[in-house]
Structures are given as structure tokens and as C-alpha cells.
Amino acid sequence: MSGNIQLLSDTLAAAKAEGRSALIAYLPAGFPTVHGGIEAIKAAFEGGADVVEVGLPHSDPVLDGPVIQTADDIALRGGVKIADVMRTVRETYEATGKPVLVMTYWNPIDRYGVERFTAELAEAGGAGCILPDLPVQESALWREHAEKQGLATVFVVAPSSKDARLAEITAAGSGFVYAASLMGVTGTRESVGAQAQDLVERTRAAGAGAALPVCVGLGVSNAEQAAEVAGFADGVIVGSAFVKRMLDAPDDKAGIEGVRALAGELAKGVRRQA
């Protein structure tokens, strides 16, 4: 089986054709268990997510906040392995037919082997990989194998990224560009929202030839914030809010229902602009 980059592109294009942003959910593999994580991802899709990112738990997730770090710790203590991540991708894709990406730091792939990782991800039906700490100038080997396997390579940009860097990333990436910013951490929420909107506009301008969708991970946690980001981004990425629903629930079943409910609320939010 080749990877599902076309399914990802078609899904984002279909959302755009409806006049709305795509809803992209993030949940770590192996949290609260491998089976429970698979059920949670299915619930996110059932609730209204268009795309799901499956996190590969890492012992030092430097770019993730405390909520996702807590979930990663639980998954790692449970013994989650790359094989479990691939199982998670396979079972959720087979159950839903929707695009599933893996989000991971570079070190686990480097240790596992790029050719092996891309082949297994494609065979599992994965749509691609988000690689937040892989510099574009060091990505040629990864991109060669990802392209061969039909997988998207999603790079992350930040408000600090210069225009030349944005152009380089949009030229090298595929699937979409992940625009990372922080809502409610630096300055007021309004100013951070404006910063994210500026980043989206600069990324689009830099990649005018590539025309990749720009999706924003902003700390969105409710329908109002989703609607706000949907006003300027091609996709709204939500992670910590889903994980928090799982962590705060009295049991796994309630957590999974919480994920489904939140996906429904956020799906309504991204459609307010339509």
C-alpha cells in the first residue's frame, strides 16, 4: 500500500470547497492504552475531525506543553513502541478511511531507520508525518523516502520564521504547512491571534507557487477560538484540549466520550465561517 498524501490533500480541498477550515485533532498513541488511544482517535473522527495527528510519545517532548507531556509519560510507562504507533495508524485508517498523520520528533525515526519507518507508515495507510524539529536543510533523505512512499512531509513554521525560511519550507514541504503559535501565553489572546494571522499570511505569500494549505496550532480549546482561527487558516489544529478531556475524565470510556463531544463542538466552530 502506498501512503495517503492524496487523501490528505483531497480532504483539505473538500473542506475549502465547503467554505470552511479543516478540523485537525491530535492525540498520542498508547494513551491511555494502545487500544484506548485507537478508540479515542476514532471518536475524534466520529465527532467531526477531518484529519488526526497521532503523536509518537517521546521522553523529552521539548515543544509540547505539560498536558501532552503527561499523556506521553503515561504512554511510555505503558511500554508504547513504534509498532504500536503503526498499529494505531492502521486500525484508525481502516475503521474510518480518513487521513491519519504521525507527529514525531526526528530522533526516534533516525534510530529506527528512515526507509523502514516510511515503508511501514505507508503500509499502515498513513498520510504522512509532521516533523517539528527536522530542519528543512537536513531533510533530503526523509523527503526522498516519503515521496517514494506517497507520504506528506509537514514542516512547522513559527512567528519567528523569516520570509526566506518560510519560502524554503513551503517549497520543500507537502500536504500542508503547520503554523505554530501560542494563544494566551505571550501577551493577550487578541495579540497572539493577530500574530498567528500574520504568520499565515506571510507563509501563503512566501509559498505562492506551492499553494500549500496553512493550518494553525494555537492552543485552541473551544468552538469560539476554533471559529476565530478558521477565519484566517485552512485548518485548525487542536491537541492539548483533547488530551485534557482524557486526563480529566473519571475513566477511559468517559474520556473517549469527552473527545467525541469536543470534536463535535470544534467542528461546529470551524463551520461558523462557512
Catalytically active residues are: 53, 64
The residue type at 162: K
CB 141 within 8 A of CB 166: no
Q: What distance in Å separates the CA atoms of residue 22 and residue 232, rounded to the nearest whole number?
A: 12
Residue in this structure with the C-alpha cell 499553494, named with its chain if needed: 211
- Provide the 3-class DSSP secondary structure of residue 92: helix
Quickly count helices (H) and strands (E) in the chain.
Answer: 12, 9
Q: What distance in Å separates the CA atoms of residue 159 and residue 172, rounded to the nearest whole number?
A: 19
Residue in this structure with the C-alpha cell 516510511, named with its chain if needed: 118
Nearest to 258 by CA among 246, 247, 270, 267: 246
Count the neighbouring beta carbons within 10 Å of the beta carbon of residue 107. Answer: 13
The residue type at 42: K
Q: What distance in Å separates the CA atoms of residue 72 and residue 76, rounded to the nearest whole number?
A: 6
**Crossing angle, helix 114-123 and helix 140-149, to 10 degrees?**
30
